[in-house]
């Protein structure tokens, strides 16, 4: 599913994302687990939590990111 359609407050695993040097620095890579904290109005940035840091990603990049929901630990 698309990152943009994700529910706030839940955790997701990134399965596909566009190449961008800066994303890698913030360890936003394929397979990383992220939490959607907030989505800004008017196609504004999506605020993610990754590990313990918070990074806002512009709409144009966010719309290309695909994720899958992470079911709670130990079950999957």
Residues in contact with another protein by the rule CB under 8 A = 20-23, 25-27, 37-45, 47, 51-61
Kindly state the smallest distance separating residue 63's Cβ from another protein, in Å.
12
Kindly state the smallest distance separating residue 43's Cβ from another protein, in Å.
5
Kindly state the smallest distance separating residue 42's Cβ from another protein, in Å.
4
Of 11 and 39, nearer to another protein (C-beta) is 39
The alpha carbon of 9 is separated from its chain's Cα centroid by a whole number of angstroms, namely 11
Of 2 and 54, nearer to another protein (C-beta) is 54
Which of 19, 75, 8, 13 is CA-nearest to residue 50?
Answer: 13
In angstroms, the Cα distances linking 17 to 44, 66, 74 are 18, 6, 26
Of 7 and 53, nearer to another protein (C-beta) is 53
Torsion on CA atoms 26, 76, 6, 57, rounded to nearest 10: 0
């Amino acid at each position: 599913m698309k990152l943009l359609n994700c529910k706030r407050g839940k955790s997701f695993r990134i399965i596909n994302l566009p190449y961008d040097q800066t994303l890698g620095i913030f360890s936003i890579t394929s397979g990383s687990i992220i939490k959607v904290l907030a989505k800004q109005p008017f196609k504004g940035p999506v605020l993610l939590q990754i590990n313990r840091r918070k990074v806002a990603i512009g709409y144009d990049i966010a719309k290309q990111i695909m994720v899958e929901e992470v079911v709670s630990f130990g079950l999957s």
